[in-house]
Chains A and B, each alone.
Chain A
């Protein structure tokens, strides 16, 4: 069974600064996907970024980028130029490529961006 661990229950960052959220996972699969989702107070889970395990290049989406270390089973999210609208819960999630496997989520990190 796969597990996802987010070791930082809460983080805070000053507006315009950079913050990194940590995520580690455990799996015996070789092909899989990793995701970061954002959940603001509106409750909707919004996809921030996706990484395919077979791709060595780290995924980037505007101010959001990841540091994917497959051997270490680590998948951190870096948010640059933090904005007040980035305040939310952030969930790291895993999905195996094989079969009809579900998303497995971590417990989340609450990020507060301070003006």
Chain B
């Protein structure tokens, strides 16, 4: 069973640029959630995708957008990067949406904005 994989592991971008982060969900999982974890903080929910549709969104501006593909892999796109976007971005997949299906997390992408 392949777990959740994220790419790249590290990324350095300049303020104002755009970035795309990628996530492959665990086999059989149709729900993907993205979280932002700032240094020294707990993860904050960005959004969730269920069967290719956005299924919930946290308190993040529209420059944070996403996609889910037919194979249930997902992308997180961030436009007009700001210094405060520097964080660990975590992807998690689950069998279904809801607490009855535990989330399985990847190792994250460390984004640094300079």
Contacts and interface: CB of A to CB of B under 8 A. Distances in A.
Contacts of B41: 107-108
Nearest to B56: A100
A103 B45 CA distance: 7
Interface band, chain A = 20 to 34
B105 to A, nearest CB: 4
B42 A33 contact: no
Interface in A53-72: none
Interface string A8-32: 0000000000000000000000001
B32 to A, nearest CB: 12
Contact of A43 (B44, B56, B88, B102): B88
Contacts of B90: 43, 45
A103 B99 CA distance: 8
B99 A96 contact: yes
Interface of B: 33, 35, 40-45, 48, 50, 55-56, 58, 88, 90, 92, 97-100, 102-108, 110
Interface of A: 4, 32-33, 35, 37, 42-47, 50, 91, 93, 95-97, 100-108
